[in-house]
Structure 1
C-alpha cells in the first residue's frame, strides 16, 4: 500500500473526503517527525512505538577492494541518529 492508497482507505473508513484524509495523514506524519527530531518518542498502544537512537561512528570496508590494495577499501562512517520502530502486540498478532 502506498500513500495515496492509504489516503483512499482512510477516507473510505472514516467517511470523509480524500482531501481531509490527506490532511490528517500529513498532520500525523509531521507530528511524528517533529517529535522524533526533538529526541522524543511516539507510542501508539497496541500498534507500536517510534524512537530515535544514536548510531556511533564506525569503520566500514568496501568488499570490492582486494587485500593488498592501497587503503584496503576502509572508510569512516559518521555517527548519526536513526529512527527505530518496535511493533506493538496487536500489530504483531494481526500479522501472525
Structure 2
C-alpha cells in the first residue's frame, strides 16, 4: 500500500478530498520524520512506536572477495508494533 492508496482510503471514509487527505498524511509523516531526526521517539497509541537506534561501527566483508571493509557508525529507525496492532494482524 502506498501513501496515495492510504490517502484514497482516508478520503473514502471521510468527507475530505483525496488531495486534502494526501496532504494531511504527508504532513503527518513529515512531522514523524522530523521528530525522529531530532532523536525523539514517536508513539502512536494502538499502532506502535518508532525509535532511533544507534548502530556501532563494525568490520564487514565483501562476500565476493572476502576483503574486510569498515562500516561506519550510523543511526537507524526501529518500529515496535503495539499489542492492539498485533492482534488485528493475527486475527
Sort the TM-score into its range (normalised by shorter chain): over 0.9
Quote the offset at 1:13 in angstroms.
1.2
Structure 1 position 23, deviation (Å): 1.2
Correspondence for 1:75 among 66, 69, 72: 69
Find the aligned partners of 1:17 and 1:77 in 2 and give their Cα distance: 46
Q: What SS does the corresponding residue of 1:35 show, helix, strand or coil? A: helix
Question: 5+ residue gaps in structure 2?
Answer: none
- Structure 1: where are the runs of 5+ without partners? 66-71
Separation in 2 of the partners of 1:13 and 1:56? 44
The aligned counterpart of 2:35 is 35
Q: What secondary structure does 1:16 align onto?
A: coil
Matches of 1:10 and 1:90, distance apart in 2: 20
Distance in 2, matches of 1:9 and 1:40, equals 29
Residue 14 of structure 1 and its aligned partner are, at CA, apart by: 1.8
> How high is the TM-score relative to the length of structure 1?
0.89
Taking only aligned residues, the RMSD between alpha carbons, in angstroms, comes to 0.9
In structure 2, the partner of 1:87 is 81
Q: TM-score, normalization: structure 2?
A: 0.94
- Aligned residues between the structures: 90
Report which of the two structures shows the higher radius of gyration computed on alpha carbons. Answer: 1
